[in-house]
């Protein structure tokens, strides 16, 4: 038991272990995003179907546990990412006076911490509005109504669009990077993984982003 604990600690404190934890939790969160998006698509089916889905989710007795697990995944992802970033800052105490990228960095890879922070800020707002406020129970049109009301505000739509763009940029590096982190790099596979990662990132940004935009335009509601 102690040996196992030691091994886990050794793994989780090593530079590769840390980033594999970030990568694994990141991929889990991608799975969550995909599931969340599938649910969101029910908005297009109208109020009845969507609210029934919301009802189904909230009435599930396992929900608190699932939420707790999800929270854990988020916290782990964020915590380890911050740890890694902090160490990376310390690893170069004196910066270069002149710095030019050699061609490996992308917008996604160089802004992970910022797009991550933006996503976190977004997440806090999002959860507050749609979950913690309890508005869905009071609203005559249920959760569907909350969504429609919220996206009547142009400011909200703009914020959502910006945040989801940030998420897309985050994922544009994150997805393929997670594969590299777990050692999946092969001259035949990697171009496909990179393309799939970009496609996934774009799909998430566009599909999630379409909902506020279409709502604002009156296409949903």
Partner 1 sequence: MSGMKLTLKIWRQKGPGAPGELRSYGVQDISPDMSFLEMLDVLNEQLIKLGEDPVAFDHDCREGICGMCSLVIDGRAHGKDSGKTSCDMRMRGYQDGDTIAIEPFRAKGFPVVKDLVVDRSAFDRIMQAGGYVSVNAGSAPEAHSLPVPYEKAEAAMDHAACIGCGACVAACPNASAMLFVSAKVSQLALLPQGGPERARRALSMLEQHDKEGFGNCTNEGECEKVCPKSVKISSIARLNREFLRASVLY
Give DSSP secondary structure letters for 68-137: HHHHHHHHHHHHHHHHHHHHHHHT-SS--SS----S---HHHHTHHHHHHHHHHHHHHHHIIIIIT-HHH
Minimal distance in Å, beta carbon 73 to partner 1?
A: 19
Minimal distance in Å, beta carbon 62 to partner 1?
A: 30
Minimal distance in Å, beta carbon 84 to partner 1?
A: 5
**196's tokens:** 């799939």
Helix (H) or strand (E) holding 19, with range, is: helix 15-41
**212's tokens:** 């506020």
CA distances to 48, 107, 165, 202 from 178, rounded to whole Å, are 38, 17, 20, 17
* Residue among 7 and 38 whose Cβ is closer to partner 1: 7
* Residue among 21 and 146 whose Cβ is closer to partner 1: 21
Question: Footprint of partner 1 on this chain (CB under 8 A)?
Answer: 7, 10-11, 14-20, 84, 87-88, 90-105, 109-110, 112, 173, 176-177, 180-187, 190
Minimal distance in Å, beta carbon 192 to partner 1?
A: 14
Q: How many residues does the chain have?
A: 221
Question: Which residues lie below 8 Å from residue 21, measured CB to CB, with a gap of 6+?
Answer: 12, 76, 80
* Residue among 59 and 101 whose Cβ is closer to partner 1: 101
* Residue among 84 and 207 whose Cβ is closer to partner 1: 84
* Residue among 166 and 209 whose Cβ is closer to partner 1: 166
Minimal distance in Å, beta carbon 63 to partner 1?
A: 33
Q: Do 120 and 176 meet the contact criterion of CB atoms below 8 Å apart? A: no
* Residue among 51 and 111 whose Cβ is closer to partner 1: 111
Minimal distance in Å, beta carbon 203 to partner 1?
A: 21
* Residue among 62 and 98 whose Cβ is closer to partner 1: 98
Angle at 107 between CA 209 and CA 27, to 5 degrees: 60
Minimal distance in Å, beta carbon 181 to partner 1?
A: 6
Closest CA to 105 of 168, 167, 161, 169: 169
């Amino acid at each position: 038991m102690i040996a196992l604990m030691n091994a886990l600690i050794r793994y989780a404190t090593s530079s590769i272990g840390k980033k594999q934890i970030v990568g694994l939790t990141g991929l889990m969160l991608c799975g969550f995003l995909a599931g969340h998006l599938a649910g969101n698509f029910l908005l297009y089916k109208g109020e009845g179907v969507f609210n029934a889905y919301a009802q189904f989710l909230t009435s599930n007795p396992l929900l608190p546990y699932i939420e707790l697990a999800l929270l854990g995944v988020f916290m782990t992802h964020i915590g380890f990412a911050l740890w890694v970033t902090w160490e990376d800052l310390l690893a170069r105490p004196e910066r270069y006076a002149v710095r030019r990228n050699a061609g490996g960095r992308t917008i996604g890879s160089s802004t992970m911490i910022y797009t991550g922070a933006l996503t976190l800020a977004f997440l806090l707002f999002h959860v507050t509005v749609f979950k913690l406020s309890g508005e869905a129970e009071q609203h005559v049109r249920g959760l569907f109504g909350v969504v429609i009301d919220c996206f009547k505000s142009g400011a909200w739509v703009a914020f959502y669009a910006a945040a989801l763009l940030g998420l897309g940029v985050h994922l544009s590096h994150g997805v393929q990077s997670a594969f590299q982190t777990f050692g999946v790099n092969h001259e035949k596979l990697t171009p496909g993984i990179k393309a799939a990662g970009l496609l996934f990132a774009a799909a998430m940004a566009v599909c999630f982003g379409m909902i506020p935009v279409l709502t604002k335009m009156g296409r949903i509601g």
